Amino acid sequence: MSAAPAIALQLYSLRDAVAQDAAATLARVAEIGFDQVELYNIVEWRSLLESGLAANGLAAPTAHAVLSSGEPETFFEAAQALGVKTLIDPFIAAERWQSRDEVLRVADELAGHADAAKAYGLSFGYHNHFWEVEGRLDGETALEVLAGALPDEVVLEVDAYWAAVGGADVPALLSSLGPRVRFLHIKDAPLVDGALSKDREDQLPAGQGDIDWPPVLAAAPQAELLVVEFDEYRGDIFEGIAQGLAGTRALLGA
């Protein structure tokens, strides 16, 4: 990478803890060593996040919001109030990635959201799971088809774990997607019966599984933020995110 990216924590990893005590959770995130977070549930938690971020010196350059779950303007407004720069839609259902025509419709929808987000001073992007790379549409992954149809202003946050467990050659995918890949989600997976485990419960901190990270990072030199995240974690989640931070720093040679 041309310049070392920053490291953030996706708060979805701590969704249960935030719901119980947002202030204490954000304080612990800062104590562990994070100074940036990627927000989740920004409308419902807006007031809690506003106070908690300020109290703990945490910046939130990015946030997730499933725009199909509500009025897009409510998410744009909350993101703007929380100091977010890029709002990212993290979920479009798997059935919409099975044909080229449907993927092109998705691209049109995302382009429309990106245009609307400009009025709030926001850039806009999309985050993948495994189903956007698992199949092929005329030799391309659905994520590549999407990227080819999007205006340049729409960015991508590639979840390298989900791409890897979905069977993608992640460095090749990142190279194909090019400079619109601005953010990467970082978590690891073990080999189970000769393949990377797709079981969310098997997720590991970066460097503790079998994803080959150096080529992945080298293939996205323009990425400005690496985001530590767990969908699920078998151990203590705070220990997990601390190990995730340490592992990600180690990958960067920090």
Number of domains forming the structure of the chain: 1
Q: What is the model's pTM?
A: 0.97
pLDDT at 167 over 80: yes
Residue 107 lies in a domain: no
The pLDDT tens digits of the residues spanning 28-62 come to: 999 999 999 999 999 999 999 999 999 999 999 99
Asked if residue 147 is part of any domain, the answer here is no
Write out pLDDT tens, residues 195-214: 999 999 999 999 999 999 99
pLDDT at 68: 94
Reported confidence tier of residue 254, pLDDT bands at 50, 70, 90: low
Cβ atoms 158, 128 nearer than 8 A: yes
Its domain, for residue 160, covers 6-92+119-130+154-251
- Specify the pLDDT at position 155: 98
C-alpha pair distances (Å), 240 with each of 28, 32, 119, 195, 209: 13, 11, 38, 23, 13
* C-beta separation of 156 from 126 below 8 A: yes
| Per-residue confidence (pLDDT) for residue 3, from 0 to 100 | 77
In a domain, 113, yes or no: no
Question: 3-state DSSP call for residue 63?
Answer: strand
User: Rounded to whole angstroms, how far apart are CA atoms 251 and 254?
Assistant: 8
